[in-house]
Structure 1
């Protein structure tokens, strides 16, 4: 039986995006099994990255390496006016803009995340294909996909 111990998260006024992207890449390398002649690999992970601020560390190299690896389907969300959606485009092509951070809007966003996970898990062949875009449901009102 697998067990999950959630990490302790604390708010500290910094956005260590570079450190987070390095940890994400390291996790892919260590935990995601690749397909080989002797084993079937894991599905391509679906990652949701949400930020409300600007990075406070060096993040560019980690972002470029992660995007080049194509190790996951990453959906980024620029939450609030302090987040730069164009910066997130350096990490992934799928970027959402969430200007309203009121509880009802956040609730709709996380409901959409759940629907996205469900819909993506039902289209396994598409998720496993390296260069195919994932099939996401339309975002709820108040959340825009950044072109």
Structure 2
């Protein structure tokens, strides 16, 4: 059976001490990674990583749409857990649930659907016919 390595818990204060090109830690999905040696290899450039240090960068990481290979690559740089990770995950889940609920309400509301179709049509018709009657 493989030995489970104990993980160290890092705080935002810890992250803020490692925010340079020579010493770069980043928190993603409740985990802390020392990506100092990866900076030169990052396809998006080192500066995008450095600007996301000192905080939970999960949202920015996910918005980019990293591949599964990129996500698997993180394991190589893992140094511990982020003590703000669980709260951040809960907050992101809450925001996601609210956005999903809003999207469902918008898509199921027949008045909104009608407005989405009619409003652009009315703007186009106004652009065509108003100049004819004003000139």
Q: TM-score range by the shorter chain?
A: under 0.3
Structure with larger RCO (C-alpha < 8 A, sep 6+): 2
Greater CA radius of gyration, 1 or 2?
A: 2
Q: Which has the higher helix share?
A: 2
TM-score w.r.t. the length of structure 2 is 0.24
State TM-score, norm by structure 1: 0.22
